[in-house]
Amino acid sequence: MNGKRFRTGIAAAALGLAACVLAAPVAHAEKLSEKTIKKECEAAGGVYSRSGTVSTCTYKDIKGNKWMDWFSGGHYVDTIPW
């Protein structure tokens, strides 16, 4: 009985992991226009910059820490401390 329960748990965990892995790329699929990136950056009090297809937004959070959001071709890439 314990073996069957264990296998069922492993199967459920594997299905859950597969669902997360398959859904992850969808979260970053939305392409933003440069106009939107610039508008949202300025609304956050940040400084927008663009070079070719790469755009950045440098801003401070509520604690005063400086961050930079990176976008490539309108897709969010990463946020790094600046």
Residue 53: per-residue pLDDT: 96
* Number of neighbours of residue 48 by Cβ within 10 angstroms: 19
pLDDT at 80: 97
pLDDT at residue 29, as a whole number? 64
Co-location of 46 and 72 in the same domain: yes
What gap in Å lies between CA 32 and CA 69, rounded to an integer?
13
Looking at residue 38, which CATH number applies to its domain? Answer: 3.10.450
Indicate if 78 and 48 belong to the same structural domain.
yes
pLDDT of 28 reads 55
Residue-wise pLDDT tens digits, 3-24: 565 455 444 444 444 444 444 4
Residue 17's pLDDT is 41
Distance CA 30, CA 75 (A): 7
Q: Mark whether 12 and 35 lie in a shared domain.
A: no
Judge if 14 and 53 occupy the same domain: no
**pLDDT < 50: residue spans in the chain:** 6, 9-24
Give residue 52's region: left, alpha or beta (phi > 0; psi -120 to 50): left
Asked whether residue 58 falls in the same domain as residue 23, the answer is no
Same domain, 12 and 42: no
- The total of structural domains in the chain comes to 2
Q: Which domain holds residue 11?
A: 1-30
